[in-house]
Structure 1
Amino acid sequence: LRTWALPSLMMVLENNTHRAYPQHLAEIGLAAEFDASENTGVAEHRTVGAVLAEAEVSYEDARARLQALAGAFGKGLETPPTEHPAFIPGRTAAVVLDGETAGVIGEVHPEVIVEHDLEVPVAAFELRLDALR
């Protein structure tokens, strides 16, 4: 079980270092979280994750794509600042749809980029698909 999709997308980028940049990837898949109300103690939900790897990529590039996705479902989007260990402090935000935190967006931390042997910055987001209903 995985708790979010972005580590898998980072592994795909790592496996594609022999390919030219830019590389933009997205995935819809299952993620799990602990949920005591479930018989199994785990609840699964669908997420959409995306990574943008290129020399001049920024938080704003990822936010523009996320805004387009939310807009396609008629949803307004808020991105209040937050902290997350996979992202650069000050370049990370929560994804809030209809007043509910549904994901995270930001510029991937340089330590994570080095860990995956990548040569360019990465901006990314992930959110729960049920928030787009």
Structure 2
Amino acid sequence: MEDVAIAYGYNNIEKTIPKMSTTGDQFPLNKLTDLLRREVAACGYTEVLTFILCSKADIADKLGKKIEDLKAAHVGNPKTVDTQVTRTTLLPGVLKTIYHNKAVPLPLRLFEISDVVYLDPSKDVGARNERRLCAVTYNKSSEFEVLQGLLDRVMQLLEVPFGQDDVGYRLKPADDPTFFPGRCAEVVAKGQVIGRIGVLHPDVITKFDLNMPCCALEITIEPFL
């Protein structure tokens, strides 16, 4: 469009008054994301921004899962191993960031609020984005209670009380190969599972070349719009 305008000449475009009056506003999901970024940072976490493309091993093998079971969008003819698929979780990117910053004094507390991509035949493009919040602690101890405190703070900001009903949120024991057995829970809010929190399995930590306990939280924030 810019090339066409330059060829036509900006000064040749006639100025007209719009036939309708509109008011611009921030997209609600982006507004919520920006507000959460400030609050999570205020809790002592450092924000990271990672690539949406990654390798199949990052979202599958390294997390104890199979790529066939994931609704990941595959890239045709990827140029490198690190651009094979779109991420279905923010966790690998945060763990890689920790690996490249292992020289930084402990504890390391990082977070990212960004999109993941899932295949969805109901969409016109065959895939959909989902805005998620991921936070990871890296220290000599797992610091599960620290991360649960962050979850409580996020829910407080979203005005979701702790409780067993469909209005509040609660933790439900769960089994996930990414997490240590018996130390993983689903985060249930407003009657639906929005994510997981727990201590990462030692095999997962080792595959990302880390050597300290990690605790991770990942939830979707779209149900709270």
TM-score normalised by length of structure 2: 0.57
- In structure 2, what is the equivalent of residue 6 of structure 1? 91
The amino acid across from 2:221 in the alignment is L
Matched, 1:95 2:180: no
Partner of 1:51: 136
Q: Which of the two has greater strand per residue?
A: 1
* Partner SS for 2:171: coil
CA deviation digits over 1:58-115, x for unaligned, max 9? Answer: 3322211111111111113211011111111110011111111111111011111111
Hey, what's the Cα distance between the residues in 1 that align with 2:190 and 2:207? 35
Structure 1 residue 36, shift from structure 2 partner: 1.7
* AA matched with 2:119: F
Tell me the percent identity.
29
Please state if 1:34 is matched with 2:119: yes
Structure 2 unmatched runs, 5+? 1-85, 162-168
Cα displacement (A) at 1:48: 0.6
1:80 to 140, 160, 172: 172
Letter paired with 1:128: T
Q: Distance in 1 between matches of 2:143 and 2:104?
A: 20
2:213 to 116, 121, 129: 121
Which residue identity does 1:97 align to in structure 2? A
Q: Distance in 1 between matches of 2:140 and 2:95?
A: 16
Residue 78 of structure 1: SS of its match in structure 2? strand
**How far is 1:129 from its partner?**
1.2
Q: Return the index of the structure with the highest Cα Rg.
A: 2
Q: Among 62, 74, 89, which residue is 2:147 paired with?
A: 62
> Corresponding residue for 2:101?
16
Question: What RMSD in Å do the two structures reach over aligned CA positions?
Answer: 1.2
- 4+ long deviations beyond 4 Å: none
Separation in structure 1 between the aligned mates of residue 224 and residue 105 of structure 2, nearest angstrom: 33
- Report the number of matched residues: 133
**SS across alignment from 1:79:** strand
Q: Which residue of structure 2 lines up, in the alignment, with residue 106 of structure 1?
A: 198
Alignment TM-score, normalising by the size of structure 1 = 0.93
Distance 1:32 1:84 in 2: 20
Please give the secondary structure, in 2, of the residue aligned with 1:24. strand
What SS is found at the alignment partner of 1:66?
helix
In 2, Cα distance between the equivalents of 1:33 and 1:23?
Answer: 29
Aligned to 2:5: none
Q: How far apart are 1:35 and its partner, in Å?
A: 1.5
Deviation at 1:13, TM superposition (A): 0.7
